């Protein structure tokens, strides 16, 4: 019994030792797992912190580049643009000076320098670090970053157009952030330089066109004045001939002189129109403002176009109320407006058609319209009706005479009165032109 009990005790002790060892092994394993997990967690936290720092750094770089680019793109003048870039990059990177140099081959085409006040650095950077020609031979040019000077290329596509050069009076370490911001601004600057050059070319073109337009206006005005003098003599002698002051005429001669007189009057009107538009362009066209009865203006205009109605079969209706009231305007020029509209209506309305002239008060002043049942105007041409010398395809196809100046002059006169002109038209359905005039125009001139 005693021997059995001792054996049992020994077995139990051995079992307990094995259990204890297993527990110790499990504890060691758990500790190792815990240590590894803690290490991995610590490493993950560090990676996360590094990633967050990198994201924040990139966001800061992008924000800085965006702000610099926005500041640069605010300027369209090339010199001003380069100066903004030099100052902005120098201040953003804490450099003592920054130089923006545009190049064409070995030749500098533009230069802008900025130096920090009191830095002792005058910003007169020398040649770029790295020869652009040598760099291009091996592919895209690369920047150079030394302890006191740095340079990064400005590219448009694959073409080298310049350099951004930074300088520090003391040795320093240029960080990845510095490089990223400089390279980012260099990319933006390449696009901005292209934009500025295109803008400069456009401005030069506009200036040349303005000079040509001024020369054209002066030429037209000079020629018109020069034509008026001999034309006055021609019409004077025509009048004497038709009145037979220089001798009796045969019917055939009278007919021939009448044709000459009619075309001389057309030429006089054309010269008058050209002089009017030249005056508008030069700012010399003025309105003689006074109280005007539109009913009288319409009646006088109808009388002026009456010769056009000879040998024509047209139904003309005038609907102007007696109590229409008074407009403060230039009676002569307003009669010219109505005459131009009536002349067009007569020209473009075939025999058997109708023309209606109407006027009425509205809430803003007075409206006057001339409507016809003529050939109408194609929709795609209506936005050019008031363009000088414009003649619709219909007028050209039907060989209807005209200079294309009447509606341009009409609009200039109405604009001078502070009013507006509207057109409603459709091919083969007629045209209605409506002029709206305020009671009191804002100015006595045409801009």
pTM of the model: 0.54
- 319 contacts: CB under 8 Å, gap ≥ 6: 356, 357, 358, 359
Tokens, residue 46: 């560090």
Q: For residues 355 and 446, what is the distance between their CA atoms, to the nearest angstrom?
A: 30
Domain contains 302: yes
**Alpha helices of 243-330 — where are they, by DSSP H?**
251-282, 294-304
User: Does residue 360 sit within a domain?
Assistant: yes
Q: What is the H or E stretch that residue 68 is in?
A: helix 2-73
Q: Tens-digit pLDDT profile for the chain (447 aa)?
A: 555 577 777 888 778 878 888 888 888 888 888 888 888 777 877 777 777 766 666 677 677 778 877 878 788 888 888 898 888 888 888 889 999 988 876 666 778 889 888 776 654 555 555 554 444 444 445 667 777 888 888 888 888 888 888 888 888 888 888 888 888 888 888 888 888 888 888 888 889 888 887 777 777 777 777 777 788 888 888 888 888 888 888 888 888 888 888 788 878 878 877 777 777 777 778 888 888 888 889 999 888 888 888 888 888 898 888 888 788 889 989 998 999 899 889 988 889 999 999 988 877 788 899 999 988 888 888 888 888 877 777 777 766 776 778 888 889 899 988 899 998 988 888 899 999 988 876 654 444
Residues whose CB falls within 8 Å of the CB of residue 226, separated by 6 or more in sequence, listed in order: none
User: How far apart (Å, rounded) are the C-alpha atoms in residues 368 and 324?
Assistant: 11
State residue 55's pLDDT score.
67
Q: Indicate whether 378 and 274 sit together in one domain.
A: no
The phi and psi torsions of 151 (rounded to 5 degrees) equal -150, 140
The structural domain count of the chain equals: 3
CATH code, domain with 428: 3.30.565.10
Structural domain contains residue 118? yes
CA–CA separation, 102 and 160 (whole Å) = 9
Quote the CA–CA distance of 201 and 179 in Å, as a whole number. Answer: 33
Give pLDDT, residue 408: 87
Gap between the Cα atoms of 253 and 444, Å rounded: 47
Q: Reduce the DSSP state of residue 87 to 3 states and report it.
A: helix
Identify whether residues 83 and 181 lie together within a single domain: yes
Give me the pLDDT at residue 370, please: 93
Asked whether residue 63 is assigned to any structural domain, the reply reads no
Kindly list the distances between the CA atom of residue 377 and the CA atoms of 4, 138, 394, 396, 425, in Å, as whole numbers in the listed order. 129, 64, 7, 12, 6
Shared domain check, 147 and 105: yes
Asked whether the beta carbons of 362 and 436 are under 8 A apart, the reply is: yes
Residue span of the structural domain in which 95 resides:
72-206
- Asked if residue 41 is part of any domain, the answer here is no
Of 282, 309, 326, the one marking the end of a domain is 282
Rounded Cα distance between 194 and 175, Å, is 29
Contact call for residues 399 and 336 (beta carbons, < 8 A): no
**393/342 Cα distance (integer angstroms):** 20
Tokens encoding 229: 């003098």
- Let me know whether 152 and 251 are in one domain: no
Residues 244 and 356 in one domain: no
Burial (CB count within 10 angstroms: exposed 0-12, middle 13-18, buried 19+), residue 27: exposed
What's the CA dihedral at 415, 227, 304, 378 to 10 degrees? -60
Helix (H) or strand (E) holding 114: strand 107-115
Residue 361 belongs to some domain of the structure? yes
Q: Please, how many CA atoms are within 13 Å of residue 223, restricted to the half-sphere of its CB?
A: 11
What does the buried/exposed string (b/e) look like for 128-156 if buried means 16 or more CB atoms within 10 Å of the residue's CB? bbbebeebeeeeebebbbeeebbbbbbbe
Nearest to 340 by CA among 422, 402, 258: 402
Please name which of 69, 64, 70, 120 lies closest in space to residue 92, comparing C-alpha atoms: 64
The separation between the first and the last C-alpha atoms of the chain, rounded to the nearest angstrom, is: 134
- The answer to whether residue 180 is domain-embedded is yes
């Amino acid at each position: 019994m005693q021997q059995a009990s001792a054996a049992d005790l020994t077995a139990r002790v051995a079992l307990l030792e094995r259990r204890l060892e297993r527990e110790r092994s499990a504890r060691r394993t758990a500790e190792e797992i815990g240590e590894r997990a803690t290490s991995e967690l610590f490493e993950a936290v560090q990676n996360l912190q590094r990633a967050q720092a990198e994201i924040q750094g990139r966001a800061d770089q992008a924000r800085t580049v965006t702000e610099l680019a926005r500041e640069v793109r605010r300027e369209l003048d090339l010199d001003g643009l380069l100066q903004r870039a030099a100052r902005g990059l120098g201040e953003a990177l804490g450099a003592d000076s920054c130089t923006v140099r545009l190049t064409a081959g070995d030749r500098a085409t533009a230069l802008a320098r900025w130096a920090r006040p009191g830095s002792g650095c005058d910003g007169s950077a020398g040649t770029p670090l790295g020869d652009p020609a040598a760099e291009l031979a091996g592919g895209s040019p690369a920047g150079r970053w030394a302890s006191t000077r740095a340079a990064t290329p400005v590219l448009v596509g694959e073409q080298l157009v310049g350099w951004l050069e930074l300088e520090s009076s003391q040795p320093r370490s240029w960080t990845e952030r510095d490089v990223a911001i400089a390279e980012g601004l260099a990319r933006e600057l390449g696009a901005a330089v292209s934009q500025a050059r295109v803008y400069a070319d456009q401005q030069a073109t506009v200036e040349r066109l303005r000079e040509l337009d001024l020369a054209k206006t002066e030429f037209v005005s000079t020629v018109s004045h020069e034509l008026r003098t001999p034309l006055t003599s021609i019409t004077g002698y025509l009048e004497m001939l038709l009145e037979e002051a220089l001798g009796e005429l045969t019917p055939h001669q009278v007919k021939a002189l009448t044709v000459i007189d009619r075309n001389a009057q057309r030429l006089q009107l054309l010269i008058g129109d050209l002089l009017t538009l030249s005056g508008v362009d030069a700012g010399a066209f003025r309105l003689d403002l006074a109280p005007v009865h539109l009913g009288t203006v319409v009646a006088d205009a109808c009388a002026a176009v009456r010769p056009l109605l000879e040998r024509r079969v047209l139904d003309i209706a005038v609907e102007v109320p007696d109590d229409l009231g008074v407009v403060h305007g230039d009676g002569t020029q307003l009669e010219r407006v109505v005459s131009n509209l009536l002349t067009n209506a007569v020209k473009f309305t075939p025999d058997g058609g109708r023309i209606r002239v109407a006027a009425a008060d509205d809430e803003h002043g007075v409206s006057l319209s001339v409507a016809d049942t003529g050939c109408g105007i194609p929709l795609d041409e209506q936005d050019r009706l008031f363009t000088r010398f414009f003649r619709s395809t219909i007028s050209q196809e039907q060989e209807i005479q005209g200079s294309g100046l009447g509606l341009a002059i009409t609009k200039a006169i109405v604009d001078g009165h502070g009013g507006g002109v509207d057109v409603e038209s459709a091919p083969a359905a007629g045209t209605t032109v409506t002029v709206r005039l305020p009671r009191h125009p804002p100015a006595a001139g045409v801009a």
